């Protein structure tokens, strides 16, 4: 049977910006970028994104559970020191910040379902930078 999988990420998204500029201004390397918006015309805007993600954890690789609190804390520890820079790039490049959690849930009845939540420090940080939350979940296989 399939196991639970999960990862957390922080993303900045917007139109007509080059993610390499964000990397330079924040001084932190992203785990992925999409620069499609940097090349799009004004008549058909396309979104670019800059993302910092944890590794995907699974319950089959020695982990008892997918701990969303722990995953988001890994991201928060990297972002707190650059909060001012995040606020500046969001304003200067008109970017939308978000924290996200991506979960693939096992349909095995013996597999526990992970708790999804955020600690007080994370909630405070998200409020201070004007971020929103995105939870993406799917089942490991179709029923």
pLDDT, tens digit, 9 for 90 and up, residues 64-91: 688 999 999 999 999 999 999 999 999 9
pLDDT at residue 107, rounded to an integer: 79
- Write out pLDDT tens, residues 17-43: 889 999 999 999 999 998 776 665 666
User: CB-based contacts of 51: which residues, under 8 Å, 6+ apart?
Assistant: 9, 10, 11, 12, 30, 31, 32, 33
What pLDDT band is residue 1 in, cutting at 50, 70 and 90?
low
Confidence tier at 139 by pLDDT (50, 70, 90): confident
Instruction: For residue 24, give both structure tokens.
Output: 């330079």
Cα atoms in the 13 Å half-sphere on the side-chain side of 70: 11
pLDDT, position 34: 84
Of 33, 57, 35, 37, nearest to 46 by C-alpha is 37
Q: Looking at residue 38, what is its pLDDT? A: 61
pLDDT at residue 35, as a whole number? 74
Res 61: pLDDT: 55
Question: Quick one: pLDDT at residue 41?
Answer: 60
Whether the per-residue pLDDT at 123 is higher than 90: the answer is: yes
What pLDDT score does 37 carry? 61
Question: Would the pLDDT of 115 be above 90?
Answer: no
């Amino acid at each position: 049977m399939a196991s639970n999988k999960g990862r957390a990420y922080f993303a900045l998204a917007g139109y007509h910006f080059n993610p390499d500029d964000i990397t330079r201004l924040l001084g932190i390397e992203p785990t992925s970028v999409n620069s499609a918006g940097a090349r799009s015309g004004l008549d058909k805007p396309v979104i670019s994104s800059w993302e910092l993600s944890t590794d995907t954890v699974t319950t089959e690789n020695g982990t008892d559970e997918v701990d969303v609190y722990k995953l988001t804390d890994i991201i928060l520890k990297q972002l707190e020191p650059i909060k001012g820079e995040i606020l500046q790039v969001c304003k200067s490049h008109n970017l939308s910040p978000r924290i996200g959690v991506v979960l693939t849930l096992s349909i095995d009845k013996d597999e526990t379902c992970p708790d999804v939540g955020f600690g007080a420090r994370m909630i405070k940080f998200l409020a201070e930078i004007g971020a929103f939350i995105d939870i993406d979940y799917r089942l490991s296989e179709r029923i």
